[in-house]
Amino acid sequence: MPPKKRKRRKAPARRSRSRFPLFRALLWLSVVALAGLTLFTLLRMSQVPPRSEEKSPVSAGATTKPSSPAKRPAVPQPPVPPGPSGEEKPPREYEVQPDDFEAKVRQVDLAILQSLTAVGQSQSMLRHKTVEARKYGGQEFFYQNLTIGEQQDIFPFLAELRRNLDRLAPDARLGTVNENPRDLEISIFGEPTHHLFLPLTMPPEQSAFSGSAPRLVIVIDDLGESTAVARRLAGLPFPVTFSVLPYNTKAREVAAVARQKNLELLLHLPCEPEGYPQKADSGPGTLRVDMSPEELERILAANLARLPEVDGVNNHMGSRLTQDRKAMHIILAHLKGRGKLFLDSVTTPKTCVASVSAALGMRQYRRHIFLDNTPKEHAIMLQLKKAETLARKNGTAVVIGHPYPSTLAALESWAKTRSSEIVVCRLQDI
What is the residue range of 178's domain? 101-197
Domain end, chosen from 197, 225, 260, is at 197
Number of domains in the chain: 2
Residues 232 and 374 in one domain: yes
d(CA 227, CA 250): 7
Query: Of all residues in the chain, what percent carry a pLDDT higher than 70?
Result: 74
Read off the pLDDT of residues 345-368 as tens digits, 9 standing for 90 and up.
Answer: 999 999 999 999 999 999 999 999
Is the pLDDT score of 3 beyond 90? no
Cα torsion angle, 65, 70, 76, 78, sign: negative
If pLDDT is split at 50, 70 and 90, which confidence band does 124 have? confident
The 10s digit of each residue's pLDDT in 299-335 is 999 999 999 999 999 999 999 999 999 999 999 999 9
Task: Tell me the residue type at 5.
Answer: K
Cβ atoms of 302 and 285 within 8 Å: the answer is yes
Among the three residues 142, 169, 197, which one is the final residue of a domain in this structure? 197
Distance CA 105, CA 168 (A): 10
Residue 136 sits in a domain whose CATH number is 3.30.460
Query: What is the DSSP secondary structure assignment for residue 377, as one 8-state letter?
Result: H
Separation CA 13–CA 5 (nearest Å)? 14
Whether 297 is covered by a domain: the verdict is yes
**Residue 109 CB partners (closer than 8 Å, separation 6+):** 144, 374, 379, 382, 383
CA distance 71 to 284: 14
Closest by alpha carbon to 372, among 363, 362, 381? 381
Residue 343 lies in a domain: yes
> Given this model, what pLDDT does residue 296 score?
98
Distance of alpha carbon 244 from alpha carbon 251, whole angstroms = 6
CB 389 within 8 A of CB 369: no
Question: Is the per-residue pLDDT at 264 higher than 90?
Answer: yes
pTM, two decimals, is 0.75
Q: Assess whether 356 and 419 both reside in one domain.
A: yes
Segments of 155-190 assigned E as strands: 172-177, 180-188
Rounded CA separation 356/134 (Å): 22
